[in-house]
Chain A
Amino acid sequence: MNFLYLTFLFPAIGFLLLATLRTRLSENLAAVIGVGSIGLSALTTVYVGIDFLNNVEQGGKYVQTLWTWMHVGDFNASFGLHLDGLSLTMLGVITGVGFFIHLFASWYMRGEAGYERFFSYMNLFVASMVLLVLGDNLGLLYLGWEGVGLCSYLLIGFYYSDRANGEAAIKAFTVTRVGDVFMAIGIFIIFQQLGTLDIQQILVLAPQKWSEGDPMVVAASLMLLGGAVGKSAQLPLQTWLADAMAGPTPVSALIHAATMVTAGVYLIARTHTVFELAPDVLLLVGVVGAITLLIAGFSALVQTDIKRVLAYSTMSQIGYMFLALGVGAWDAAIFHLMTHAFFKALLFLSAGAVIIACHHEQNIFKMGGLWKKIPFVYACFLVGGGALAAFPFLTVGFFSKDAILLQAYASGHTNLFWAGLVGAFFTSIYTFRLIFIVFHGEEKTHAHSIHGFSYWLPLGVLLVLSTFVGSFIHQPLEGVLPAFTSATLEESKHFVEILAIATGLIGLAFAFVFFWGERRIAKSISESGLGRLLSPVLRDGCGFDWLYNWLFVKPYLFIAAINRHDAIAKLFDLIPSLAKLGNSAMSVTENGRVRWYATSIALGAVLVLGAVLVLQVTFTH
């Protein structure tokens, strides 16, 4: 376990090598460094993980303090790593899935300009993400938190020559930074109240300092939730994720599906004691998740870009995780986080393969009939899509989503449960819609077949993990997160299971009727009055962009524009103008005419005498 620090050091070194050597590296060497560093990090994780599971008792932890980061008065933040079941799970997902995505990327990005730049950002991202999950205090967590945000910015804007990508990147960074500001304020509140930022101490001190529902703990948890919704693209800060698809596809797989966007879930789980002290806020977490998963599900139904469909499905799946957190199903949330990382990475990487096969075409209506050309990708898409739609028993997604729905039902929050079920129905429809349109029907483009070891190995591994095999992975969360308890858990098990299976299958049937073959019904709906009205709104994310544009962007630009010449500075420029005015007024009097001088002397004398007289009179009285 002493080697724990290597998990972030390897990617950091990889970043430094790639960033400094730059164009001197050949593509192959850059790939070896970029992928190899993550591979070493993943191996370290395996070693540390085995060591941890063998030597630390259940629910235990291992702390490695590297150095004192900041120590001022009674404020002390160390640069320390904290490993427990939760962070080990996250670490495994980040380095494991991360490694396969890197491997895939070494194939996907080949021949692109800035190959080494791409891998330098990716490595920096993994280093930041590892620090985020291992940091033993909120300051260090915040370091990783902002670090991954920066990497996300850099990678969304990777194709710099199109300014639209840069704008998408700025949008992503700014929207998540709004969340970061909330989180920073949450950190300030916690420090002001508890006097420490050490997470384990916070978990101990919080119940001592605060009673349930204390205004300060409500404020603190609300602010943390603000940070979480920003990073995890939940309502109301979800608008950036769809635009973030401007980045290369492996980026979407790693950052905007498998790891970074789940950081909000991790944050809430990490600080669960604080949220449990504010039950209303915890419930709000569930409600936010439920609304997001519904809205995102609707939006996914009408997207035409293959990556945007997946982006909305990501929002929706993270909505499930939030829902699970909200009902206290902590384990289920983290389980879904892990399985989602498997199948969504698989889907995004397969989508990348589809895009390559179709010569960088992303519009699904220009694809079709691809299953014959790229059968392996088709298989990946089937398994990944099946897992996304929670296809019963064969896929890993079924087990995790079923756990969430069951615990939501058993917890008594039936509204959240029904929302989750409706969401599952829509998930099934949009997933199979995507598969039917892309892989079936008539061929519209000439797709070429693809080969390569670094292409099929990552897909193959993720494919296996996305089947029921993935559900055998045991997450060591006992003792770290509170276990879910409910009297009605056992009796409602079959009811929920049957309902969930039925919903998924009905959704599949709907998708078949609407989107198989000619898609007559779907076309007639979209061409009807209601369809014409609704589909553009849904396609653009339900009008949130429009709303925020009017609420924030335009006022901001307006204020900036009206003061673009710095009015206050101009005000001070009046002083020299006044001086010049006085100068010209006075120089009029110096006109060289004797008459004028005589008059002014006389007038001046009268004025002075008069003044003296007035003063005399006032002072003698």
Chain B
Amino acid sequence: MTLSALILIPFFGGLLCWLSERLGAGVPRWIALITMSLVLAIGVNLWLTGDYSSVAGTGGLNWQVEEQYSWIPLLGVSIHFGIDGLSLVMVLLTGLLGVVAVGCSWKEINKNVGAFHMNLLWSLAGVLGVFLALDMMLFFFFWEMMLIPVYFLIALWGSSAHNGAVRVKAATKFFIYTQVGGLVMLVGILALVVVNYKATGQITFAYETLLNTHKLMSQELQFILMLCFFIGFAVKLPIVPVHAWLPDAHAEAPTAGSVDLAGILLKTAGYGMLRFTLPFFPDASQEFANTAMLLGVFGIFYGAFLAFVQTDIKRLIAYTSISHMGFVLIGIYSGNLLTLQGLAIQMLAHGLCAGGLFILAGQLYERLGTRDMREMGGLWARFTYLPPLLMFFAAALLGIPGTANFIGEFLILLGAFKVVPVLTIIATASLVLAGVYSLILIHRTLFGQPTSEQKLAELSAREISLVVSLAVILLVIGFYPQPLLNVSVDAMTFIQQTYAPADVSVPLPIGGAASPVAP
């Protein structure tokens, strides 16, 4: 029941929030907080009770908890959940950022508080479903389910800076992009099931059965289906050139929406690529690897240049996300244990770091009434605690060692260098640009003559504790990432073994001098 509970708790919690609004605006907030804390607690409990590195080396699947209920037997669809190290890392991130998202909306959201929290919790429930589903139909159900509440979060509770039309447009853009991506992926899922049915006469959406389907189809078909999955996830990650929804959505979303989007929703795409694209279509992915990594490197630079010129602080952070997602692609498609393990840390770190930055941007907006950095400046003088915290997260953003971000990027680059040295060198050079966009954020907001001598309202204990807890976690992972690496090791070993770069006999054309990686 544990895994179903992980999804049902936020679902019913959300319902309760909505119903309880008439008792007062504070009630839904507390219910949401308790709900997400419960989710986090269950996640931590799963971590403490499970053994996620027990099959290390064998490369087998390691579901620590598994649940299955009948749903549509006729189509071979069942409600099937399972959790391994990779899922667990994502569940922990969701639980943590869920608590943070509720916390940072405490004062920001004042209209329809109940409905807001219902949407927030339902989107989180959808995300948790995505991370736990082991049935492709179930997975797709959750994949679509998590979008709708986010649409409402942006359209109804978004930025009040412009008139409502702007935020509705941003929400619609977000919705259409991800819907189209989802549709393409649905085609891929159905085709995969049909191929399996034709070959074996058994109709099923079960993850573990479909893992073997790639042996039953031609190379061309495998490549096309792989592309279907890839496009579906690429829109969500997002990868340049299909990234256009992200800056708009972030700029218009409420703080909790941005935290939710950057911290958790984007991670479903990285998770999906690791869980589905690579193991379902190992050969086609291998064939596609260079293209994907080129896209990744292009995205890193594209996002970095655009981040630099933004004047809206939330758009700047959004573009840095796009830049960081390039590292995710490189990590996935280099596909050795170092990059994959680095990826687990990187996705976590990016979620926490972007979350922290968006919260700080929200706090600035609450106090200054603008997100335009040209109207900021000299903020060192006007706050006590906000500037050092902003400085910390900017340092984490540029990957300063001692933070989790460094561990992720370092492992990804260290591992990728064995596979694609030239591309890795180019990607490493982007660290300079990361420094520039992070520091320009600091420069524009904190440096210069203060626009006014007046002190701004200091951060409250609630606000400080939210951001500081994120910072502390980033630091702890930065200095002692091993416990987390031990959690994801089995899941990542499995993915690495199925992807099996060791079998690549032809050297990759990009930077071909490298020797193939030992398994």
Chain A positions within 8 Å of B, measured between CB atoms, are: 19, 22-23, 67-75, 79, 113-114, 117, 139, 142-143, 145-147, 150, 153-154, 157, 160-163, 165-167, 169-170, 173-174, 177-178, 180-181, 184-185, 187-189, 191-192, 559-561, 563-564, 566, 568-569, 571-573
Question: How far in angstroms is the closest Cβ of chain A from B444?
Answer: 9
Question: How far in angstroms is the closest Cβ of chain B from A488?
Answer: 43
The 10 closest A-B pairs by CB, nearest first: A569-B244, A143-B401, A166-B447, A188-B417, A564-B309, A73-B337, A568-B241, A160-B380, A72-B341, A163-B448
A139: which B residues are within 8 A, CB to CB? Answer: 401, 410
- B515 (CB) vs chain A CBs: closest residue: A192
B400 touches A572 (CB 8 A): no
A173 touches B439 (CB 8 A): yes
B480: which A residues are within 8 A, CB to CB? Answer: 67, 69, 79
A160 touches B485 (CB 8 A): no
- A120 (CB) vs chain B CBs: closest residue: B388
Q: Interface digits, B410-432 against A, CB 8 Å rule (1 contact, 0 not)?
A: 11011001100100110011011
CB-CB contacts below 8 Å: B311-363 with A: 336-338, 341-342
With contact pairs A143-B401, A166-B447, A568-B241 given, residues A160 and B378 touching in the complex (Cβ less than 8 Å): yes
- B431 (CB) vs chain A CBs: closest residue: A181
Residue among B402, B407, B429 making CB contact with A147, cutoff 8 Å: B402
With contact pairs A22-B384, A185-B425, A568-B302 given, residues A143 and B443 touching in the complex (Cβ less than 8 Å): no
A559: which B residues are within 8 A, CB to CB? Answer: 305
B417: which A residues are within 8 A, CB to CB? Answer: 185, 188-189, 191-192
Is residue B219 contacting chain A, with contact meaning CB distance below 8 A? no
The tally of CB-CB contacts under 8 A between chains A and B is 148
With contact pairs A71-B485, A73-B337, A160-B378 given, residues A566 and B428 touching in the complex (Cβ less than 8 Å): no
Question: How far in angstroms is the closest Cβ of chain A from B339?
Answer: 9
Is residue B481 contacting chain A, with contact meaning CB distance below 8 A? yes
A163 touches B443 (CB 8 A): yes
Question: How far in angstroms is the closest Cβ of chain B from A555?
Answer: 11
Size of the B side of the interface (Cβ < 8 Å), in residues, is 61
Question: How far in angstroms is the closest Cβ of chain A from B440?
Answer: 7
**19 A-B interface contacts by CB (under 8 A):** A67-B480, A69-B481, A79-B479, A150-B395, A157-B447, A160-B381, A161-B380, A161-B381, A163-B447, A167-B443, A181-B428, A184-B410, A184-B413, A184-B431, A185-B428, A188-B421, A192-B514, A568-B241, A571-B241
A70: which B residues are within 8 A, CB to CB? Answer: 407, 411, 481-482, 485
A560 touches B407 (CB 8 A): no
Q: Interface digits, B95-136 against A, CB 8 Å rule (1 contact, 0 not)?
A: 000000000000000000000000000000000000000000
In whole angstroms, what is the CA distance A422 to B388 when docked?
47
B448 touches A160 (CB 8 A): yes
B284: which A residues are within 8 A, CB to CB? Answer: none
B429 touches A181 (CB 8 A): yes
- B377 (CB) vs chain A CBs: closest residue: A163
B247 touches A566 (CB 8 A): yes
Question: How far in angstroms is the closest Cβ of chain B from A432?
Answer: 38
Q: Interface digits, B13-45 against A, CB 8 Å rule (1 contact, 0 not)?
A: 000000000000000000000000000000000
A568 touches B244 (CB 8 A): yes
Is residue B435 contacting chain A, with contact meaning CB distance below 8 A? yes
Residue among A69, A114, A170 making CB contact with B440, cutoff 8 Å: A170
Question: How far in angstroms is the closest Cβ of chain B from A566?
Answer: 6
A174 touches B450 (CB 8 A): no
B431: which A residues are within 8 A, CB to CB? Answer: 177, 180-181, 184
B410 touches A146 (CB 8 A): no
Is residue B466 contacting chain A, with contact meaning CB distance below 8 A? no
In whole angstroms, what is the CA distance A170 to B437 when docked?
10
B308 touches A560 (CB 8 A): yes
B413 touches A188 (CB 8 A): yes
In whole angstroms, what is the CA distance A610 to B267 when docked?
54
Is residue B449 contacting chain A, with contact meaning CB distance below 8 A? yes
A181: which B residues are within 8 A, CB to CB? Answer: 428-429, 431-432
- A72 (CB) vs chain B CBs: closest residue: B341
CB-CB contacts below 8 Å: B481-506 with A: 481-482, 485, 489
B414 touches A191 (CB 8 A): yes
B443 touches A166 (CB 8 A): yes
Is residue B243 contacting chain A, with contact meaning CB distance below 8 A? yes
A573 touches B482 (CB 8 A): no
In whole angstroms, what is the CA distance A606 to B482 when docked?
75
B436: which A residues are within 8 A, CB to CB? Answer: 170, 174
Question: How far in angstroms is the closest Cβ of chain B from A216?
Answer: 10
Chain B positions within 8 Å of A, measured between CB atoms, are: 240-244, 247, 302, 305-306, 308-309, 336-338, 341-342, 378, 380-381, 384-385, 388, 391, 395, 400-402, 406-407, 410-411, 413-414, 417-418, 421, 424-425, 428-429, 431-432, 435-436, 439-440, 442-443, 446-450, 479-482, 485, 489, 514, 518
In whole angstroms, what is the CA distance A572 to B432 when docked?
29
Q: List 10 extra interface pairs beyond A70-B411, A173-B435, CB under 8 A.
A: A147-B402, A160-B446, A161-B450, A162-B448, A174-B439, A184-B428, A185-B428, A188-B424, A563-B302, A572-B241
In whole angstroms, what is the CA distance A174 to B430 when docked?
11
B424 touches A170 (CB 8 A): no
- A575 (CB) vs chain B CBs: closest residue: B176
Residue among B305, B432, B485 making CB contact with A178, cutoff 8 Å: B432
A566 touches B306 (CB 8 A): yes
In whole angstroms, what is the CA distance A162 to B489 when docked?
49
A113: which B residues are within 8 A, CB to CB? Answer: 381
B406: which A residues are within 8 A, CB to CB? Answer: 143, 146
Question: How far in angstroms is the closest Cβ of chain B from A8?
Answer: 12
A178: which B residues are within 8 A, CB to CB? Answer: 432
In whole angstroms, what is the CA distance A19 to B489 when docked?
36
- B243 (CB) vs chain A CBs: closest residue: A569
- B169 (CB) vs chain A CBs: closest residue: A576
- B176 (CB) vs chain A CBs: closest residue: A576
Most chain-B CB neighbours within 10 Å: which of A142, A170, A178? A170
- B482 (CB) vs chain A CBs: closest residue: A68
Question: How far in angstroms is the closest Cβ of chain A from B461?
Answer: 14
B443: which A residues are within 8 A, CB to CB? Answer: 163, 166-167, 170
Question: How far in angstroms is the closest Cβ of chain B from A460?
Answer: 35
B414: which A residues are within 8 A, CB to CB? Answer: 75, 187-188, 191
In whole angstroms, what is the CA distance A188 to B406 when docked?
15
Most chain-B CB neighbours within 10 Å: which of A142, A184, A566? A566
Question: How far in angstroms is the closest Cβ of chain B from A214?
Answer: 14
With contact pairs A70-B411, A564-B309 given, residues A146 and B400 touching in the complex (Cβ less than 8 Å): yes
In whole angstroms, what is the CA distance A559 to B440 when docked?
16
B418: which A residues are within 8 A, CB to CB? Answer: 192
B305 touches A142 (CB 8 A): no
In whole angstroms, what is the CA distance A345 to B385 when docked?
33
Question: How far in angstroms is the closest Cβ of chain B from A191?
Answer: 6
Question: How far in angstroms is the closest Cβ of chain A from B343?
Answer: 11
Question: How far in angstroms is the closest Cβ of chain B from A133?
Answer: 15
In whole angstroms, what is the CA distance A561 to B310 when docked?
10
- A197 (CB) vs chain B CBs: closest residue: B414
Most chain-B CB neighbours within 10 Å: which of A23, A75, A189? A75
- B489 (CB) vs chain A CBs: closest residue: A72
In whole angstroms, what is the CA distance A73 to B488 when docked?
12
Question: How far in angstroms is the closest Cβ of chain A from B373?
Answer: 13
A157: which B residues are within 8 A, CB to CB? Answer: 447
Question: How far in angstroms is the closest Cβ of chain B from A338?
Answer: 27
- A161 (CB) vs chain B CBs: closest residue: B449
A177 touches B481 (CB 8 A): no
A147 touches B400 (CB 8 A): yes
B410: which A residues are within 8 A, CB to CB? Answer: 139, 184
In whole angstroms, what is the CA distance A192 to B416 when docked?
10
B243: which A residues are within 8 A, CB to CB? Answer: 568-569
- B492 (CB) vs chain A CBs: closest residue: A72
A150: which B residues are within 8 A, CB to CB? Answer: 395, 400
Question: How far in angstroms is the closest Cβ of chain A from B267?
Answer: 20
A79: which B residues are within 8 A, CB to CB? Answer: 479-480
Most chain-A CB neighbours within 10 Å: which of B306, B414, B443? B414
Question: How far in angstroms is the closest Cβ of chain A from B56?
Answer: 10
